Structures are given as C-alpha cells and as structure tokens.
Chain A
Amino acid sequence: MKRYRNLSIRQKQVVWAWGFLALPILFYVVIRFYPTFNAIVLSFQSWNLLGPREWVGLENYVKLWHDPVFWKVFRNTFVYLILGTPISLVLSFVIAYQLDKTRLLHGTLRALYFLPFLTSTVAMAWVWRWFYQPVPIGLFNNFLASLGFAQVNFLNSTSNALPSILIPAIWAGLGFQIIIFMAGLRAIPTSYYEAARIDGVSGWTILWEITLPLLKPTIVFLVVFSSIGFLRIFDQVFNMTTNNPGGPLDSTKPLVLMIYQTAFSSFDMGYAAAQTVVLFAILLTVSLVQLRILREKP
C-alpha cells in the first residue's frame, strides 16, 4: 500500500490500466489459451474420457494420415469453402449494390434479406431438410411431381447432398454480408462519383475503378469472416443429416462434424484433438494467406 502511495500519477495510471487489462487477459488465458494448449497436448495422447490419459506420441496423426474418411472430409470442408465463400460474396455484393440504389421499400427489403440471419440455424436446417424430402412430404419434390417431373434425390445422393446443404447455409449468411457491404458502399465519399460523372466515365468503370477498390477493407473482412464460417460449418450439416450424420457415405461431412463424432460418439478424445489441431492449422493458414493477399497494395 505504501509503495503504491509513493508512485507518481503517471505510474498510478499505468497500474490502474494494467489492473483493468488483467481481467480480459486472465479470461483469455483461462478460457482460450489453456484449453487450446491442453487440446494440443491431448492430440498426442489416448483418452476415452473415463480412464487416465496415455501418451501415444504421433499415433493419432499417423492414423489421421491413413484414414480415408479424413481425406474425404478434408475435401468436403474445402468444397464448402471454395463454393460457399465466392458465391455468397458475389450474391451479397450484387444484392447490396442494387439495394443501395433502391429507394422504394428499401427498409423492408433490407429487413427481408437480413431475416434469415436472425433465424436459429437449427430451425432453418430442419425446415430445409423437410423441403428436400421425397414425396409425399417434400415441398420441392411435390412440386416437381405435380408438374410431372421425376423426383430429385436432394439429400440421399452422394453428388447432390453437399450443394443442397450449402444453399441454405449461403442463404442464411447473406443478410449479414449485405448489411456490411451496404455500410461499405455508404462509406465511399460521393465526391468521387460526382467527379467521375463529370468526366463522363461509364458505370462499369465506376464500379471497377472506384467502388470495388474502395470496398477492399470490407471485402477483406467478409472474405476472412465467411471463409472461417464455411470451414467451421457444422449446424446445417448435422441437422440436415442427423439420421446419418455427414452422409450419405460421408459425402457431406465437414471436419467439425468428424471431430464431434470422434469425440462424443466414439469417445476417442485424443484422435478428435488431433483433428482439431489440423482444423486449427487450416483456419490459421487460410486466414493469414487471405489477409496477406488481400492487403497487398495495388
């Protein structure tokens, strides 16, 4: 106490600042860093949640390397990413761009686009799951059948299932991306557009030379954000395929679902931790690469 009294005002401020900062740091260390570190340690162990943990060295990683399901799941995870991120970004940009110009019912339209983002993923996934069912309960197939077309196997197919699950996932995230894009569009100073119009530049050039370059920070944020989202996709897949999670034949299974099953239905915690470490590495790499590429000055 005496020591504190002898400090200068400046030093006291530092002490207080660190006093407040210590709280989030402590929180992060206990809630984030410690479990992360623990998971990394666990990936070199064998544990079924009940007995003691045993060291097995690299066994979990070797098993992962030789596991055909892992490679399939790995591929699926990137298909979700490679299809999901560009499609959702282009769609949301086009919608935001047009919505920005619209005056009529602007607020209502924006709210309609944003609504799916507010809906619980689980409820949404189940509704879409029922949409996709064969006759007599599936909306889409009933529609097709009433027009005399053959039924489409949306979910019970190794080729259709993944896109079928991706569509609602993209749709659900669209509202958020549109809002961010619109904020980005609004932030571009109108003087640039006025100058361009005085110079008689075409609308296309304005889009390419003014709008998109100035939207770069927004695009960087959305690409990283949506990539991480698609790499971590779980709720939609799990809820739309609960009977046969990630099926049929693992064709829709993302890495997170494989981790979940390994951990909580096979109780193979060490193996699940190894998969988690791989996912962590992928997320880290993808984010860093994207940040670097998209931040480069033109």
Chain B
Amino acid sequence: MTAFKSFAFAAATSLAALVAASPASAVEIEYWQYIFDARIKAMDVLIENFQKANPDITVKQSTFPYADYRTKVAAAIPAGEGPDVVQLFYGWLNDYVEADLIQPLPAANFPADKIEAEFFPMVRAMKIDGNYMALPTAVRSLALFYNKRMFAEAGIEAPPANLDELVDMAAKMTTKDGAGNITAEGLTSGMTAQDHHWWREVLLRQFGGTPYSEDSKTVTYNTEAGVKALQFYADLEAKHGVTKSTFMDEPQAAFKAGRAGMHIDGSFRIGALKDTRGLDWGVAELPAGPDGTKSNYASYWVNAITSKAEGEKYEASVKFMEYITSDEAMQIWLDTVGELPAKPSAAMTEANLADPVFGPFVAGLGYAQTTVFADESGQRQVLVDAVSRMFLEGQSAADALAAAATAEQAILDGYYKK
C-alpha cells in the first residue's frame, strides 16, 4: 500500500513539474483539414518548422473524413471549439463568410496590394469587400498528359501546340476494330471528369467567349463563341471520332491502361500516374486556341482564420498563416503533395519550370482562370447534360447550350438570392 502511495505521489509531482515546465506564454492553436495523406504529411512538416521558429506556439493538427468535414466545422466553430486555422475549398468561401465562420485576414499583415503583387491573379476570388478572407498554400492547374509510346508509334514528335494539331494527332493515334469500335483513342474525353473545366475556362475563351460576368452571378456563354466551342468539343467524338466519352468507363482509366494517346487532367493526377508501371508518359501545356489564346483552369484549397480565434490565439494564428503562405512552405508543399505554389516567386522558379512534369502545370498557372462556383457539381451537371442531349437526343449545339445557360443561371440565381 505504501508503495502505491509513494508511486501516486511521485506521479503527481512529476505531473505538476511537467505543467510548470511549459512556458507561461505557451499558446496552442488548432489546425483542421480533411483527410488526404500527402497533405497531412506536408502539414506536419510545416508545423514542425513553424514550431521551431516560434517555440511559444504549438499547433495541433486535426483531420476528418471529407464527408464529415463541413458539418464538423460548422458545429464546432460557433460553439467556440475546433480550429483556429481551417482549410476549405475556394468554392466554399461565400458559404463560410456568410455563416461567420471565418474572419478577414488582418490588412496589416496581409495587405491587399501586396497579395495581388505576389500571388497568382486567380487568388483575387478570395477578396470580399476589399479584404482577403483566405489564402492558398498551393494551387492546381490542368495540362495535357500524353502517352510517349503511342506518340512514337504514330510518328508524332512533339505534343500539340494548338487545337488543330490536337485533332490531327488524336486521329493518328485512334485505332478501331473491323466494326468501327474504338480500341484505342487519340484523346480522352468526359465532361464528368475535368473536361467541364477545360470547356468553361479554356475552350470557351479560346473561341472568344467568357463563361460568366465579372461578378460571377450571370452566365454569359450562350453566344456564338459558346456554340462554336461546344461544337468543337462535341465534334471530337461525333465528327472526328478520335474519342469516346464512355471508352473504358473513365478517361483516366483509359490513359492509365495505355489505351489513350492524350488526356487532359489536373496536377493531382501526377501521383497516380507515377505509380503506374509500364506507362511512359509526358506532360505538355494545354493546346492554344485558333488565334493563339492560351488559357487554363486553376483550383485550390485555402486556409483561413476562424471567427473562434481571439486574443493571443488570434496572434498565433496570424503568424501561422504568414508561415504557411510563405515561399518556403509552398516549396515544401510542392515536394510533398505535388500541388503547385500559389505565388509566381515560388512557382516560376527555373527548377520548377524546367521540371518535365511540373513545368507545364506551372507555366499554365501564369494564364489560368478560376471559376467562382455556386454549386460545382450542379454546374458541372449542366454541361454534362448539354453534351448528353447532343449525343443521345440529337440536339443542336445552339439549343443544348441555350438550355445549359438557362439551367445554370437558375442555379446561380438560387444561390445568390440568399
């Protein structure tokens, strides 16, 4: 019994010593993101570096499954629990701002003109009433993946520079069986994958159109340029026969299996392709438009300070935000996750531009656009349905596009009237 008593006493004293040993000024802030292994690993590295530089601050990272993430954040912050710094998809910003879940970044530490000078222009979507609400560490853009073996077999030397070359090369690589069924496609397609971004922010602009009004509240693609862009996209399958949207179930599956010559996808696909044995692939910038216009689509996850952070936790959160939006953090992110730095100064380095895999994505960032979505999957569905109506119901491009514009405008109206 005495042994137990002395053990308990010893335990109590050592516990007290532990508590006393930590500095009085220690602040612990919490960081939340959803579960994505590479990002958690990268954030662990960033937190370690940050804590080394700021010994009085500890950052605790908590992660949740994607499906629960939004509910958890929404329930925790108003209750004064949960994260001080939180990660969210750029498309959710309006929702978070309206629900008072996040607060503006302090203008003293994050002046708008400095952000605009240093970050890629697409980050401007994060500015509300002159204040920046959130900033990304990394961004993602599109590029053209190509199968080097199929290129060599078709005698093609360089990836396509423009849309005409894209169609020509795709035709050379497409093979069909005796009944005319595609057995290997020149180019993958599928509005359900990344093609809706390619159409909206790239093809449409290359044919002279714009997807939305300046404030993103009005659909502006129901024009002659829009019809031309949609016709071009549909013709890839219907007229040129160089692709089939249902081929091998999913576009990336066809490319991974070595049955597709070219594939437009995001930088997040790099990891999966690197692990594919026997596939010899390269990356190129997206082909330019008929008049040489280059465009790209970028999306990103941002970090923001929540409305829960106050006093010294707020100060610590600001410091943490400053660190995770620094050039150093961005390079760590690129090396660990494969997502591209959000600042030209960190992204457009010679090493990154010369990188055969990252280079084309980084170059694409220079002229990338961002869509301010109200409901990304709903807005994607509108374009998916437009192409379905053309293929399955024989609708003309003009009618399909007009119906799409009406449907998408209804989504935007419903969202912004709140």
B246→A249 contact, CB < 8 A: no
Known: A46-B418, A137-B248. A266 touches B392 (CB 8 A): no
A17: Cβ under 8 A from any B Cβ: no
Contacts of B385 in A (CB 8 A): 247-250
B71: Cβ under 8 A from any A Cβ: yes
Chain A interface: which of B91-99, B164-172, B227-235? B91-99
Cα of A151 to Cα of B244 in the assembled complex, Å: 13
Chain B interface: which of A81-89, A127-135, A214-222? A127-135
A287: Cβ under 8 A from any B Cβ: no
B24: Cβ under 8 A from any A Cβ: no
B377: Cβ under 8 A from any A Cβ: yes
- With an 8 Å Cβ cutoff, the count of chain B residues facing the other chain is 39
B95→A261 contact, CB < 8 A: no
Contacts of B96 in A (CB 8 A): 50
Interface residues of A in 138-177 (CB under 8 A from B): 145, 148, 150-151, 153, 155-158
Which of the listed residues A51, A133, A150, A247 has the most CB atoms from chain B within 10 Å of its own CB? A51
A13: Cβ under 8 A from any B Cβ: no
B249→A248 contact, CB < 8 A: no
Q: Could you give, for residues 116-137 of chain A, a 1 whenever the CB lies within 8 Å of some chain B CB and a 0 otherwise?
A: 0000000000000110011111
Interface residues of B in 145-198 (CB under 8 A from A): 177, 179, 181-183, 190, 192-193
B246→A156 contact, CB < 8 A: yes
B247→A265 contact, CB < 8 A: no
Contacts of B73 in A (CB 8 A): 50
Chain B residue with Cβ nearest A126: B249
Cα of A266 to Cα of B381 in the assembled complex, Å: 11
Distance to closest chain B CB from A297 (angstroms): 49
A129→B179 contact, CB < 8 A: no
Contacts of B250 in A (CB 8 A): 243
A158→B393 contact, CB < 8 A: yes
B388→A50 contact, CB < 8 A: no
Chain A residue with Cβ nearest B191: A244
Chain A residue with Cβ nearest B77: A50
Which of B99, B248, B375, B389 has a CB less than 8 Å from the CB of A266?
B375
B74: Cβ under 8 A from any A Cβ: yes
B70: Cβ under 8 A from any A Cβ: yes
Contacts of B193 in A (CB 8 A): 243
Distance to closest chain B CB from A152 (angstroms): 12
A30: Cβ under 8 A from any B Cβ: no
A183: Cβ under 8 A from any B Cβ: no
Contacts of A102 in B (CB 8 A): none
Q: Could you give, for residues 250-280 of chain A, a 1 whenever the CB lies within 8 Å of some chain B CB and a 0 otherwise?
A: 1000000000010011110000000000000
B377→A265 contact, CB < 8 A: yes
Cα of A243 to Cα of B190 in the assembled complex, Å: 9
A145→B177 contact, CB < 8 A: yes
Cα of A61 to Cα of B190 in the assembled complex, Å: 34
Cα of A52 to Cα of B95 in the assembled complex, Å: 11
Cα of A264 to Cα of B65 in the assembled complex, Å: 14
Cα of A84 to Cα of B177 in the assembled complex, Å: 37
B392→A248 contact, CB < 8 A: yes
Cα of A150 to Cα of B418 in the assembled complex, Å: 51
Known: A136-B259, A156-B392. A150 touches B179 (CB 8 A): yes
Can you name 13 A-B pairs with beta carbons within 8 Å? A46-B418, A136-B183, A145-B177, A145-B181, A243-B190, A243-B193, A243-B249, A243-B250, A244-B388, A249-B385, A266-B375, A266-B378, A267-B95
| Residues of chain A at the chain B interface (Cβ within 8 Å) | 46, 48-52, 129-130, 133-137, 145, 148, 150-151, 153, 155-158, 243-244, 247-250, 261, 264-267
| Residues of chain B at the chain A interface (Cβ within 8 Å) | 67, 70-71, 73-74, 95-96, 98-101, 177, 179, 181-183, 190, 192-193, 244-250, 259, 375-378, 381, 384-385, 388-389, 392-393, 418
